[in-house]
Structure 1
Amino acid sequence: MANLNSSFLLFLSLNLFHIFHTAIARGGERDSGFVDKTYAASGRHLFEENHFQKLNTLAHGYMTNSDLEKAIKAFHGRCGHLSRIYSIGKSVLGVPLWVMEISNNPGKEEAKPAFKFIGNVHGDEPVGRELLLLLANWLCDNYMKNPLATLIVDKVHLHILPSMNPDGFSLRRRGNAKGIDLNRDFPDQFFPMNDDFNKRQPETKAIMNWLKEMRFTASASLHGGALVANYPWDGTEDKSKSYYACPDDEAFRYMAKLYSHSHHNMSRSKEFEEGITNGAHWYPIYGGMQDWNYIYGGCFELTLEISDNKWPPANELRMIWQFNKMSMLDLVASLVKSGVHGRIFSSDCGEPLPASIAIKGINYTIKASERLADYHRLLVPGQQYEVMATMPGYKTRTTTIVMGDEPMTVDFILEPDFSLSSSFLPNHCSNRSSLKIFKLISKPHLQVSLTLVLILAFLCFLMKRKAIVNHFKVRKSVGQRRVSAV
């Protein structure tokens, strides 16, 4: 009888957990994200023990951390012509955080957008890590065979981090090895809860350093426990549960709907209209990765809940992959199938300028890359926008575009603003030219006269001007419309 009662209690606890699993989906607690850590110790330990046993059983058929590392290296060994693998850091327990980059020129800086997928942010939500390996292998297998696969590999740098929280996965729990919810560990725009960099978890630091080194246009993190595409803002100033729109609310809604409507059944949700939700309207959280990406990383990130069940049986993974495959592919491809893209140059020397791009009426600015001066801005099709390029010491350029169903290319040539005092005149070009000249004339064995140096500099100037003209003539992507703001 004792064994029967014990079995009944175990059955009851596991089924209660399954019934209420959606209450701990994206953010954990649905109220505020500020969690009361006090529990009745005995009850909590019994629940955790039963919960661990259940998840340990469900883990059969899922890749272990060792299996995942082998699968990532096997993928690169098979698809090395369009991939590279690298680690952005280590977890608390020293597990490498492996990333797969997929591109026709992996590891090379190019004037094209970058997208990142992150899986397994919460240790007990492992579906993402499995789906991301399937995505990588599908792209490899279908490159030059499927138009969508070919478009993504040729036009995007895709970076995939299958597991942000390998320790939580192996421990069968939500937080990392220190019990910290990684989706609460980022700096917050409303509250100074994670302002001390040294107190953040190594997994969080790895993501933040990653975005300092890599410029991502957009990204998505994969979670479980619901079926919805979640977009910023995730919190509100007064901690209220209410819709709180970010400056690019329309663009985020467009991205979320793109994922939801490409999904097998997400858009038919009875809980979320069209299968999308504003995070703060669903339930506010603070210290989340999504908002931090947008504010501090210049990256448009969605939080994707891809499975009602946080840890479904392994035999359901193929079905979940089929339900999400087109959504994942369409989301990445949207970076080059929509929006406005271009490069920015200086009119006086032809050098690329890392200027800023702003849209009139939207309080959010992105920067062109430092070396190539390319930019990629997500916008909603079917609307008119004023695009502005600004750079200290140069005259602002503005052009009006009407976004259709295709991407637009808008290049800018900025002129120095000579109305400014000499201390504010641009030196972006002069510094580079002067450096080249001084290097030449400082070498005694060359014995180059100043006249010859000036001639060479002038020829270099003419070649750069010609390069800009050729750039406008040659760089015409298929299906793109080009506008040049001179």
Structure 2
Amino acid sequence: MSKLRFVLSLLFSTAICFSLPPIAARGGHSDYIHAVLGDGNSSLYGTARHLFSQEEPRPSLELTRGYMTNGDLEKAMKDFTKRCSKISRLYSIGKSVNGFPLWVIEISDKPGVLEAEPAFKYVGNVHGDEPVGRELLLRLANWICDNYEKDPLAQMIVENVHLHILPSLNPDGFTARKRNNANNVDLNRDFPDQFFPVNENLGLRQPETRAIMTWLSENRFTASATLHGGALVANFPWDGTEDKRKYYYPCPDDETFRFLAKIYSKSHRNMSLSKEFEEGITNGASWYPIYGGMQDWNYIHGGCFELTLEISDNKWPPASELPTIWEYNRMSMLNLVASLVKTGVHGRIFSVDEGKPLPGLVVVKGINYTVKAHQAYADYHRLLAPGQKYEVTASSPGYKPKTTTVWLGENDAVTADFILIPEASSGGKLRRSICDCSSCGQPLLTRFFAETNNGITFALVVVVAFLCFLLQRRMRFNLWKQRQSSRRSSITV
């Protein structure tokens, strides 16, 4: 009877194996020094690059004519979400020192809904006297709204990315036409720093800084960019050095950041033609070190790959030039967001015993940086420079880590789902499912041959092994169908 119960249990486990949904790959979720670059173009502060150690002169009211006031911007954002309610929503992440809401537009085919998709954020007007970014970000939102049903790039972004747009982080500084916020603090020097113990007291941080930090703790952003003015270059980490000297100081993902920065600069009308910055990009520390910056903090603490984009030599150009500046930056802004879908390694982490999502970690061999999978959907989005082979490992507490090797082509993202096996319990028994077909049947055969020579029992074992083989074939067939219907490469390990 014991043998019969064992065989029946074996057949029951196999039946459960077939009842589970197939797990397959899915498709695409302070030191104050400021530089002003002049390379022959007109500039509010001259045609040569200068370093300022104090607040710059305020632009005249006449020069600001044609720019949206804070009231205009708020109304425009509310009007936008009414006009494009199908793909957008409006929310606030907090208030400025003077109480103005820090409004954000989210653009997605399912705004406000948690999905297994990457998220991107754009932030403008970090410095009050750099208003071009806030104008361009609202133009970006309107362009996507007007074109997402007819332009493939806009459609890709809406359907596969959650795009969050914060046009003005420093509305008080904008009103005063000054760099700092209403408390005279440079918001891009107000974040905790990795090299020096500054800004460690949460209570002393500015409300705008706290709003950003809370925003990232509540939302997982794969990448982001802040829009600045006064130069024309795409800046990437690290922004500072351990000894405060000026030299190239790469972060662990230096190659990936260079790739992302080039996406922006080479899509721009003339950024990549810069005579000062090779290919229109720069490592922050090699340009001029800063400490307490938002860019490095995003990468270290937010798990977010952030660029600092200097998009206009002139900090406050005449409003009549804004349409031209927008056209110069439009494809750069779109292509940077689309890079979350078109490149990198994406996937989910599952448990083999129940097929449930596992909130785990993803690391790449040779890169000292860890990406976290989402707590709910266990999806991860690992940005990497293309044209290389990578060894990717997924892990989760209580499970054996698993590694796979992927090849990233140009504009060819890879989807790699990981199915993890539980580690041995304290009693020494593996908490694994009979559906772990990588070793299916091997320990069972040993047990059967030791206990019986019954030909019928052996035949049942062979049948179970064959059924597991069929299950693997079904999973591979599902993967093959997905590959045929999508240009993205997909693997399940």
TM-score (norm 1): 0.81
Give per-residue Cα distances to partners, 1:260-318, cap 9 Å, x unaligned: 00000000000000000000000000000000000000000000000000110000000
Identity %: 65
Which of 147, 168, 175 is the matching residue for 2:152? 147
Instruction: Give matches, 1:52-131, under 5 Å.
Output: 52=58, 54-131=59-136
SS at match of 2:175: helix
| CA positional deviation for 1:60 | 0.5
Which of 411, 415, 421 is the matching residue for 1:415? 421
Q: How many residues align?
A: 410
SS at match of 1:18: coil
The residue number in structure 2 matching 1:402 is: 407
| CA positional deviation for 1:350 | 1.2
1:329 aligns with 2:320: no
Structure with greater helix percent: 1
Distance 1:351 1:474 in 2: 23
The residue number in structure 2 matching 1:214 is: 219
Structure 2 unmatched runs, 5+ = 1-41, 433-470
Cα pair distance change 1:102/1:77, threshold 3 Å: same
Which of 46, 50, 58 is the matching residue for 1:19? 46
| CA positional deviation for 1:131 | 0.1
Cα pair distance change 1:159/1:474, threshold 3 Å: farther
RMSD: 2.3
Which of 181, 186, 211 is the matching residue for 2:191? 186
Cα pair distance change 1:20/1:166, threshold 3 Å: farther
The residue number in structure 2 matching 1:230 is: 235
The residue number in structure 2 matching 1:352 is: 357
Q: Which runs of 4+ in 1 moved over 3 A?
A: 20-24, 422-427, 468-477
The residue number in structure 1 matching 2:202 is: 197
SS at match of 2:76: helix
Q: Is the 8 A contact 2:44 2:317 kept in 1?
A: no
Q: Is the 8 A contact 1:388 1:397 kept in 2?
A: yes
| CA positional deviation for 1:216 | 0.2
| CA positional deviation for 1:19 | 1.4
Larger radius of gyration: 2
Give per-residue Cα distances to partners, 1:116-157, cap 9 Å, x unaligned: 000000000000000000000000000111110101101100
Distance 2:44 2:323 in 1: 24
| CA positional deviation for 1:55 | 3.4
1:173 aligns with 2:178: yes
The residue number in structure 2 matching 1:484 is: 492
Distance 2:213 2:184 in 1: 20
Cα pair distance change 1:16/1:128, threshold 3 Å: closer
The residue number in structure 2 matching 1:248 is: 253
Distance 1:77 1:335 in 2: 27
TM-score (norm 2): 0.80
Distance 2:98 2:371 in 1: 36
SS at match of 1:58: coil
Moved more, 220-229 or 391-400: 391-400
| CA positional deviation for 1:479 | 1.1
SS at match of 1:19: coil
Q: Is the 8 A contact 1:260 1:275 kept in 2?
A: yes
| CA positional deviation for 1:471 | 8.1
Letter in 2 for 1:309: N
SS at match of 1:136: helix
The residue number in structure 2 matching 1:4 is: none
The residue number in structure 2 matching 1:133 is: 138
SS at match of 2:80: helix
Distance 2:163 2:98 in 1: 27
Structure 1 unmatched runs, 5+ = 1-14, 30-36, 38-43, 428-464
Distance 2:427 2:166 in 1: 48
| CA positional deviation for 1:17 | 6.4
SS at match of 1:317: helix
Instruction: Give matches, 1:244-393, under 5 Å.
Output: 244-393=249-398
SS at match of 2:45: helix
Letter in 1 for 2:418: F
SS at match of 2:199: coil
Q: Which has the higher contact order (CA 8 A, sep 6+)?
A: 2
